[in-house]
Amino acid sequence: MRRSLLAVAVGLAITATGIKPALADEFTVADIEVEGLQRVSAGSVFSAFPVNIGERMDETRLADAIKDLFRTGLFTDIQASRDEGVLILSVRERPSISSIEIEGNKNIETEMLMDALAGAGLEEGQVFRRATLEKLELEILRSYIAQGRYNARVKATAEELPRNRVAIRLDINEGSVAAIQHINIVGNEDFSDEELIGLFELRTR
């Protein structure tokens, strides 16, 4: 008969530090089973889960071990139960990235944007992390603002697909470069406006 030891439901914005382990009797781990794996190998789970067969287990150590498993970033949910001496881990994997599409960019090449995405771990076949996508969305927008394109817009979306996959799309409106229409100087007494403006690198259009 399976006995629930610990149920942990962690959303994308909640960290493993919120775990509140339920009380459980101490027991010796006779075996470890993993349920719910799709792309992640059982070996990857066992290498990150610091519990070995034959060791004594209690709720505190189990909570710590599950935190270690969460730190891999591979799962959004981990539940632990046991059937006699068998420790059972039921996991829900983070979705993988099926495709990436970028539309609307001209001044920043698609290859550069793809490199930025890949550098942040967002590329086809990799684990999808929404927080990373949102951060990169902001960084791309800042790049356009640095070009003087203050009305640029960047919208990143992730469409859920079958088999726990997502399709990422970046829609970019680069806007236009801001132009200075007029320079007004106040408080100058010893120099004329024309003399001071002649020292500026900025020019009106």
Q: Is residue 120 part of a domain?
A: yes
Q: Are residues 10 and 64 in the same domain?
A: yes
pLDDT at residue number 182 = 63
Mean pLDDT in residue range 87-116: 95
Query: Domain of 72?
Result: 2-93
pLDDT category at 192 given cuts 50, 70, 90 is confident
Supply the CATH number for residue 106's domain: 3.10.20.310
pLDDT at residue number 79 = 93
Q: Are residues 52 and 105 in the same domain?
A: no
Q: Are residues 102 and 59 in the same domain?
A: no
153-161 and 86-93: which strand pairing?
unpaired
Q: Is residue 181 part of a domain?
A: no
Q: Are residues 8 and 88 in the same domain?
A: yes
Domain boundary among 43, 64, 93: 93
**What's the CA angle centered on 60, arms 55 and 65, to 5 degrees?**
65
Is it the case that residue 5 has pLDDT exceeding 80? no
Q: Are residues 124 and 154 in the same domain?
A: yes
How far is residue 60 CA from its own chain's centroid? 28
Q: What is the pLDDT of residues 52-98, one digit of tens each?
A: 999 999 989 999 999 999 999 999 999 999 888 999 999 999 999 99
Q: Look up tokens 């970046």; give the residue.
A: 170
pLDDT at residue number 18 = 38
165-173 and 153-161: which strand pairing?
antiparallel
DSSP per position, the chain: -EEEEEEEE--TT--GGG--PPP---EE--EEEEE--SSS-HHHHHHHS---TT-EE-HHHHHHHHHHHHTTS-EEEEEEEEETTEEEEEEEEPPEEEEEEEES-SSS-HHHHHHHHHHTT-STTSBP-HHHHHHHHHHHHHHHHHTT-TT-EEEEEEEEETTTEEEEEEEEE------B------S--SS-HHHHHTT-S--B-
Q: What is the pLDDT of residues 140-184, one digit of tens each?
A: 999 999 999 999 999 999 999 999 999 999 999 999 887 666 666
Q: Are residues 79 and 116 in the same domain?
A: no
Domain boundary among 93, 111, 134: 93
Q: Is residue 85 part of a domain?
A: yes
Q: Is residue 200 part of a domain?
A: no
pLDDT at residue number 36 = 94
Q: Are residues 6 and 85 in the same domain?
A: yes
Q: What is the pLDDT of residues 19-38, one digit of tens each?
A: 334 335 789 999 999 999 99
Domain boundary among 33, 68, 93: 93
Q: Are residues 33 and 58 in the same domain?
A: yes
Q: What are 168's strand-pairing partners?
A: 100, 158
Q: Are residues 153 and 82 in the same domain?
A: no
Nearest to 89 by CA among 152, 32, 4, 135: 32
Q: Are residues 87 and 25 in the same domain?
A: yes
Q: Is residue 197 part of a domain?
A: no
